[in-house]
Chains A and B, each alone.
Chain A
Amino acid sequence: MQLKKKLGQITESDSLNELLKRILDLSQEVLQSEAATLFLVDKATDELVFKIVNGPKAEELQGKRIKIGEGIAGRTAREGKSFVVNKPRDSGYVDKFDRQTGFSTESLLAAPLIIDGETIGVIEVINSKGGDYTKRSKQLIEQMAAQVSSELKMALLSERLSKSEEFLNSVINSLPGGILILDEKWFIRKSNLTVKKMLDEKDIEGRKLEEVLPYIDILENIKNIEGSGSFEAVIQKNSKNAHFNFELSRAKEISPSGIEKDYLIVQISDITERIELNRLKYLQEVNSNFVCGLSHRLRTPLTPILGLSSILKDQKDLQDNFKEMVEIIYGASLEMKDMVEKLLDIALIGTNKAIEINEKVDLDSVLNEIISNFDYVPFEFISGGKSLFVTGNYSWLSKSLKQLFTISLKERGKNLRVELEEDGGYIYINLKGFRSLIDDFSTLANVSVFQFDNPLTGDSDIKYLDIPLIRLILNRHNVKITVDENKALISLRFEKAEE
C-alpha cells in the first residue's frame, strides 16, 4: 500500500493517542524496524518522555524519561534535525536503556517533531530488519514526523478551540440579555440560559429559528438587516404584551482546516419594564402638568376674592351682619388657598420634584429597606436614639454605599459617577455629573458632597447626612424620612470592624 494512501486512512482516526499510535505503527512497518518510539518534550523538566513505545521492551520503557541532548533521541530534540546511526557500537555508543533492558540497538533512525519552528518531540525507529537505514529511510521518517507534527498541531488547536468554546459558553451565560447564535441556514448553534428562560424553551440548539421564534415580523426584520442593526418587537406572552429589543451582529469562524462559516448573533433584551415605566412616567408627567396648571389658574380668581374680603373685613364702619358675611368669605378663601397650595405639592410629588415628608420613620426599617438591595450585607445597623451605628468591614461598607448611590441615581436615567474618598476625617461621596440632575430636580440644588463619620478614626460626632439626597434615595426605595428644621433625624456612623 502506498504511504500517502495509508496516511489518508490514518487521518480519519479520531482519538489523538490512537492516531499517534497508528502513525508510529505505520512508521515501524514502512521502515521495517524492530521497535519504534514516540517521545514528547516535557518543557518543565527539559526532558523527553517515552510517550508511545512499540517493540519487545515497550512496557519497560513506557513513561521513562531522558534529558534533552542525551542519546540520539535527545540530540535530535536539541538540534531539531534527523539522525541515522547504523551499528552504533562500532562508534563506541552504548544506549543506557539497552543496558537497563538488555535490548541491543543495531541501527537507529530519529526525526524531530516540529510545530511552528519548535521541537515538541521525536519519532524514532530502531533496528532495521532490511539492513542499514538509508537516505530513503531518513526521507520516510521525516515524512512521518511531518505528519505527526501536523496532527499534533491540529489536536492542540482543537483543544484550544474547545477551551475557547467553554469560555464562550461561560461568557454568554453570564450576559443579562438572551443570546442566539445562528448559522447561515438559521439553525440555532448556540444559545444562553437567559434566552431559554425568555422564550420558555429548554432545547433550542439545533432547531430552526422560526420554530423557536414563530413571529413573521421578527423573522422579516432579522432577514432585512444586513450586517449589524437592531429593532424592537412585541411578543404575546401569557396573554400579555412583552417588548423585546433585538440586536444583530455577524461573526465569522475559520476552522483549523480553513473553512469559513458565517454566524448571525442575535442579542435579545426584555425591555417591557422600561417601556411600561416610560409610559407611566409620561402619564404621570401629563397628570402633573395638568394639576400644576390647574393650581396656577385657580390662583388668579382667588386673588381678588381673598384680597378684597381681607380689606373689607377690617372696615370699621361695616354693619355687623355684613362683617360676618365678609369674614365667612375670607375664611373660605383662605381654605381654598391652602387647597391650591396642596394641589401644587401633590403635582410636584408626582414629578419627583418634591418628596412627601409626613411620617415619623422607623430607622431600622429604613436601613432594612436599603440593605435589602444587597445579596450579602457584611455589616449591621444598630439604632441608638436618633442615630444609627453601623459596624462592619469598611471596604465592604464603602463598596455597598457606592453601589446604593449608583443604583439609586442610575434608576433616574442619569449618567452619574459615584466616587468615595476619605479625607480629613470624613468619607466624601462625590457625585460627578450632578448638574444634569439638578436641572430636573430643582429642589436638590447645591448638593454635591455628603459627609459621614470616619469609621477609621472612631470619631464619635454624629454628622447629618445630606437630606435632599438621602430623601431622594430613600424615596426610590419607598421609604419616607422625617426632617426637622433641615436636619435629618437619620445619621450613620461607621465603626471599624474588629479584626
Chain B
Amino acid sequence: MARVLIADDVPSILYLFKEFFKLKGFEVDTADNGFEASKKLGKNDYHLVVLDIKMGGKHGLEVLQNLIERGYKFPVIVCTAYEHLKEDVEIIAKGKIDVDFITKPPDLEVLWDKVVRLLEKNAIKEEVRTNNGERQP
C-alpha cells in the first residue's frame, strides 16, 4: 500500500486530505506543523508528501529543504497560491525531487491526476485503489 504524509496546520484541511487519500487506498500519516512533518519524514518512508507551505512551527520550505538535504526522493505536492513561493520551491527542488502544486481550495480530480502522474513518474509500483474500486498504477 502506498504511503502518504500530509502536512497542514489547519485540522479541517488535514481531515479532508486524510479521508481523500484513505478512499484512494493510501496508508495516510499526518503532521499538523512543520516540526512534526520533519520528524516523521526522518523516521518513516513515504511514497508521497502533501505539504502546506505556510505552516506554524516550521515553514514548508524549510521542511522541503531538510527533506532534500537528507537525500529523500519522495515526490511532493505543495499547497500554495503564491507565485513567488512556487518559484522558490522549484529552485530548491530542481533536479532533486519531483514537485507539483495545488491551490486551495483544490479540485480533487485535478489533485488525483497530479498524484497519479507523480507516482508513475517515480515508478511507484504499488497499486492504489480508486474510490470506485478501479485499479490505478
| B is bound to A | yes
Q: Please list the residues of chain A having a beta carbon within 8 angstroms of any beta carbon in chain B.
A: 296, 299-308, 310-311, 314, 333, 337, 442
Would you give the 0/1 interface string for B116-135, flagging 1 where the beta carbon is closer than 8 Å to chain A?
00000000000000011000
A296 touches B20 (CB 8 A): no
Contact at A296–B108, with CB atoms within 8 Å?
no
**With A296-B81, A314-B131, A442-B83 given, is the CB distance from A302 to B104 under 8 Å?**
yes
Q: How far is the CA of A305 from the CA of B23 in the complex (A)?
A: 17
| Interface assignment of B106: CB less than 8 Å from any CB of chain A | yes
Pull 16 A–B residue pairs with CB atoms less than 8 Å apart, ordered by A.
A299-B104, A300-B10, A300-B13, A300-B104, A303-B105, A304-B10, A304-B15, A305-B105, A306-B105, A307-B13, A308-B19, A310-B108, A311-B131, A314-B131, A314-B132, A442-B84
Known: A310-B108, A311-B20. A299 touches B81 (CB 8 A): yes
8 nearest A-B pairs in the assembled complex, by CB-CB distance: A304-B12, A307-B16, A303-B105, A306-B105, A299-B104, A303-B104, A304-B16, A302-B105
Interchain CA distance A310-B110 in the complex, whole Å: 12
Kindly state the separation between the CA atoms of A299 and B102 in the bound complex, as whole angstroms.
Answer: 12
Chain B residues with Cβ under 8 A from A302's Cβ?
A: 104-105
| Cβ–Cβ < 8 Å partners of B107 in chain A | 310
Distance (whole angstroms) from the CB of B59 to the closest CB of chain A = 16
B108 touches A307 (CB 8 A): yes
Which residue in A304, A311, A337 is a CB contact (below 8 Å) of B13?
Answer: A304
- For residue A336, which residue of chain B has the nearest CB? B105
Q: Which of B81, B83, B106, B132 contacts A307 (CB 8 A)?
A: B106
Q: Cβ of B19 and Cβ of A311 under 8 Å apart?
A: yes
Q: A300-B10, A302-B105 are in contact. List 11 more A-B contacts (CB 8 A).
A: A296-B81, A299-B105, A300-B13, A303-B104, A306-B105, A307-B106, A311-B20, A311-B131, A337-B105, A442-B83, A442-B84
* A307–B131 touching, CB < 8 Å: no
Complex interface: chain A residues within 8 A of B10 (CB): 300, 303-304
Q: Give the interface centre of B20, B81, B104, B108 by most chain A CB atoms within 10 Å.
A: B104
Across the interface, do A303 and B83 meet the contact criterion of CB distance under 8 Å?
no
Contacts of A299 in B (CB 8 A): 81, 103-105
Select one of B16, B81, B106 contacting A308, CB under 8 A: B16
Chain B residues with a Cβ under 8 A of chain A = 10, 12-13, 15-17, 19-20, 23, 81, 83-84, 103-108, 131-132
Nearest residue (CB) in A for B83 is A442
A333 touches B105 (CB 8 A): yes
A306-B20 Cα distance, complex, nearest whole Å? 12
B75: min CB distance to chain A, Å: 21
Query: Nearest chain-A residue to B84 (Cβ)?
Result: A442
Chain B residues contacting A310 (CB-CB under 8 Å) are 107-108
Nearest B residue (CB) for A306: B105
Contact B108 A303 (CB under 8 A): no
Residues in A neighbouring B23, C-beta threshold 8 A: 311
Which B residues lie within 8 Å of A301 (CB)?
A: 12
B20 to chain A, nearest CB (A): 6
Once the chains are docked, how many angstroms separate the CA of A497 from the CA of B107?
A: 56
Assembly CA distance A299 to B19 (angstroms): 19
Residues in A whose Cβ lies below 8 Å from that of B108: 307, 310-311
* Nearest residue, chain B, Cβ from A310: B108
CA of A308 to CA of B13, assembled, Å: 9
What's the minimum C-beta distance from A188 to chain B, rounded to whole angstroms?
55
The complex places the Cα of A304 from the Cα of B132 at a distance, in Å, of: 21
Residues in A whose Cβ lies below 8 Å from that of B103: 299
Least CB distance from B30 to A in Å reads: 14
Q: Which residues of B contact A442 (CB under 8 A)?
A: 83-84
Q: How far is the CA of A400 from the CA of B75 in the complex (A)?
A: 53
Give Cα distance in the complex from A337 to B81, angstroms.
13
Q: Give the complex CA separation of A302 and B16 in angstroms.
A: 11
State how many angstroms separate the Cβ of B45 from the closest Cβ of chain A.
26
Chain B residues within 8 Å of A311, by CB: 16, 19-20, 23, 108, 131
CA distance A314 to B132 in the complex (A): 9
Please, which residues of chain A bring their CB within 8 A of the CB of B81?
A: 296, 299
Which residues of B have CB within 8 Å of A314?
131-132
* Closest partner residue, chain A, to B87 (CB atom): A442
How far apart are the CA atoms of A307 and B107 in the complex, in Å? 7
Q: Which A residues are CB-close (under 8 A) to B84?
A: 442
Smallest beta-carbon distance B113→chain A, Å: 14
Output the least CB separation between A295 and chain B (Å).
9
Q: Which of A307, A308, A333: most chain B CB closer than 10 A?
A: A307
Q: Which residues of A have CB within 8 Å of B106?
A: 303, 307
- Least Cβ–Cβ distance between B51 and chain A, in angstroms: 15
Q: Which residues of A contact B104 (CB under 8 A)?
A: 299-300, 302-303
Q: How distant is A440 from chain B, measured CB to nearest CB, in Å?
A: 13
Q: List the B side residues contacting A304 at CB < 8 Å.
A: 10, 12-13, 15-16
Chain A residue nearest to B109 in the complex (CB): A310
Inter-chain CA distance A302–B104, complex, in Å, is 8
Minimum CB–CB distance for A316 against chain B, Å = 8
A307 to B19, CA, bound (A): 10
Shortest CB–CB separation between residue A354 and chain B, in angstroms?
Answer: 12
- Kindly state the separation between the CA atoms of A13 and B84 in the bound complex, as whole angstroms: 81
